[in-house]
Amino acid sequence: MGDSKALPIVGGVMLVLVLPLIVVVALIVGGLASMDTAAAQCVPSETEGATFAWPTDRHEIDQGWSDPDSEGNSHSGVDFEIDEGKKVYAGEDGEIVSTADRQVRIKHDRGVETRYKYLKDISVRNGQTVKRGDPIGTVGSEDESTPGLTGAHLHFELWIDKENDGNLVNTEPEEDNLFGDEGGADSGGCGCSDLSGSNNQQKAFNYFASNGYTKEQAAGIVGNMIHESGVEPGRKEGTAPGTVTNPSDVVEFSGGWGIVQWTPAGKMINPSRESGVDDAVIGSLEYQLEFLKKQLAGQTAIPEKHAGDMLKQARTVEDAAVAFGRYYERFLGSDNLNHERYTQRKTAAREVLETFGGTAPSEGGAGACGAGNGDIVRTALQLAWDTPNHGHNPKPINPTYAQAVEDHNGSSGDDVLTDCGVFVATVMRMSGVDKDYAPRGTTVQMEYLRSSGKYDIFDNLNNEGQLKPGDIFIIDGHTYLYTGNYEGGDGRTYNAASASLHGHVPEASHVYFSDDRGHYTVARLKQSGASD
C-alpha cells in the first residue's frame, strides 16, 4: 500500500442509462451484450463493450435492420431465431410499461425504451421494475413480412426520444460493434464462480482458480492482494487492518482503496456507481473480485488486458506473483525485478498455494459453480453474501445466487430471491447432496425432512457444541443453514447463512435456536443421504 498504481481512467465509460442522449444514439447497440444474463449487472462495461445484455440465450442476430427496398419491404428491428418457449431477458434495468399484444415494453432512463415482440408467455406486469438480465417471458412464433423472420423467433426493437419531446422514434442500431465477444472464461459474468472459503484469502484464491486461472496464477494474485490490502474490500490506504471505509467516504481520496488498492479510490467507485451499482455492493468482496477479473480480461471501464495476458503466461507461483505485481499493481520500483516487494509477494503467494491449493476448485472453471460438489457449507457460502445487511429495497442480489436459483431450483412466485426456503433448497440441490429437496415452502420442507429418511431430526438442540456444519434449521415460517465459523468480508466472524422473505437476500448471519415463532428443529443429512 502507499504507492500503488494510479492508472488513467478511460473517459466516457458508462452504461447507456447514464450516457448523455447524444452518445446513446451512437452507442445504443454497440454490442447487444456478450455478458451472461444473470451476471450482466455485475460489472460496468467499457465503451466498446456491452450496451445491453443479450435478450435471448442465442448470442447472434439472425435478421438485422432493413430500410425499405424498391418494393417497400423493410425490417425495423433485429430478430433472433430461437426455439419457442426459450427465455427472453431484459436488456437493461427499467420499468415495464406495457405487456399488451404479445409484447413487453421496458422504459429505461434517458428517453430509451426497448421492445420485445411475439412472446409466447409474459412473466412480468405493468409497473414492475426489472433488472438487466431478468427473465421477462418466453419466445413465441410469428410470420413477419419479408425480410423479417418467420416461425419461432424474438423481434427486438429500440425506441429513443431523440428530440427530448416525449416522442419515441424506432431507431436503427449502429452496425459498429454490433456483435460482441461470445463470452467464455474471460468474458463471462459472475454467474459461475466459487467464492467459498474460511477467509478472504481463500475466497479470492478459489474465485480465480474457478475462473480460468491456474492455482499458481490465482495464488500470485492473492499474494499481491495480501500486501496491498490484506484482501480487505473496505481497506483504505493508511488504515489499520480491519478498518472498513465505505465508498462514500473514500470516493474523493487520492490514495488507494479496495482489495487491490485502486488509486485513486474513485477510479473504480465512480464507473461502478455510474452503472447503477449500489455502494454496499461496490464494497463487497465478490463485486471487487468480479471487477478485477473483468479488468484482466479487458472488459471494464479501466481495462488491464495486458496484465491479464502476462499473468496467464506464468507457469510457476513465483512468476505469477511477479507478473501481477509488475503489470497490474505497478508499485513504485516494480521495474526492478530484484525489488524486495517481489520477494515478499512471492513468499505470500507460495503460502497461499500451499495452504489452499489442495482444496481449490478444478482449474479452468470446471466445477466452478459448485454444482455437485457434495459440500453444503461451501455451496452456501458461495451463494450468500459474506456480510449482513443486504436489505430489501433495493435488493443487491448476488448474481451467482440468481443464476443458481434458475439452474437448480426453478421456483417462481413472490420475491423468490429473498425466500429463505428457496435459498436452503437451492444449496441442497445445487451441491448434489439432495436433488429431491422441496424447492420452496417451510411447511412442505419440514414434512420432507421428516419423511424422506435422509435426515436425522433433532427437536431439542440448544447449544452450538451440538451442531455440525451443514445442519438445517427449520420452523414453520423460516429456515436457514448452520455453516460453522467463517470470516466475513468485513473481518467479523459468522456461523450461519440465511435469507428472509421481503427482508434480505442470502447473507451472513449467526446461529439462533429460537425466535418469536418458537424453537427450531435441526435436520442433519445422514452419511448415506446424498442423492444421485
3-state secondary structure 370-382: CCCCCCHHHHHHH
Mean of per-residue pLDDT scores for the chain: 80
Reported as half-sphere exposure (CB side, CA atoms, 13 A), residue 528 has a value of 2
Rg of the Cα atoms in the chain: 24
Cell numbers for 198 = 474460511
* The pLDDT value given to residue 369: 47
| Residue 532 predicted with pLDDT over 70 | no
**Joined grid coordinates for residue 424:** 436452503
Strands, E assignment, 22-128 = 32-33, 52-53, 78-80, 87-89, 94-98, 104-107, 112-117, 119-122
pLDDT tens sequence across 106-161? 998 778 899 999 999 998 888 888 887 788 999 999 999 888 899 999 999 999 88
Provide the 3-class DSSP secondary structure of residue 165.
coil
List 119's β-bridge partners, or say none: 139
pLDDT at 20: 30
User: How far apart are the C-alpha atoms of 153 and 86, rounded to whole Å?
Assistant: 9
The torsion angles phi and psi of 499, rounded to 5 degrees, stand at -120, 170
> pLDDT digit string (tens) for 431-450?
888 989 999 999 999 999 99
Range(s) for CATH 2.70.70.10 in the chain? 31-170
Q: In 3D, which of 484, 470, 473, 468 has the Cα closest to residue 520? A: 473
Question: Higher pLDDT residue, 176 or 142?
Answer: 142
Q: List alpha helices for 183-278, DSSP H.
A: 200-209, 215-228, 266-274
In this prediction, what percent of the chain has a pLDDT beyond 70?
80
CA distance 531 to 256: 48
Percent of the chain whose predicted confidence (pLDDT) is above 90: 48
Q: Which of 228, 194, 212, 216 is nearest to 323 (CA)?
A: 216
Residue 190 has pLDDT above 50, yes or no: no
User: Domain 31-170, what architecture?
Assistant: Distorted Sandwich (2.70)
Between CA 30 and CA 295 the distance in angstroms is 19
- E strand or H helix at 169, and its extent? strand 169-170
Rounded Cα distance, 125 and 141, in Å: 21
Identify which has the larger pLDDT, 371 or 404. Answer: 404
Q: How far apart are CA 68 and CA 74, in angstroms?
A: 4
Parts of the chain belonging to CATH 1.10.530.10:
200-365
pTM of the model: 0.47
- What cell does 385 get? 453474501
Lowest model confidence (mean pLDDT) among 40-44, 262-266, 348-352, 383-387: 40-44
Angle between the N-to-C axes of helices 340-356 and 215-228, in degrees from 0 to 180, rounded to the nearest 10: 120
Is residue 165 pLDDT above 90, yes or no? no
Q: How many CB atoms lie within 10 A of CB 306?
A: 12
- Give one DSSP letter per residue of 240-255, joined into a string: PTT----GGGTTT-SS
- The CATH fold of domain 200-365: Lysozyme (1.10.530)
Give how far the C-alpha of residue 236 lies from the chain's centroid of Cα atoms, to the nearest Å. 24
CA distances from 407 to 38, 175, 191, 302, 429 (A): 11, 33, 10, 32, 10
pLDDT top residue among 178 and 256: 256
pLDDT over threshold 90, residue 259? yes
**What is the residue type of 329?**
E
- Which of 39-48, 201-210, 456-465 bottoms out in mean pLDDT, i.e. has the lowest? 39-48
The pLDDT of residue 191 is above 60: no
Q: Which cell numbers hold the place of 278?
A: 449500489
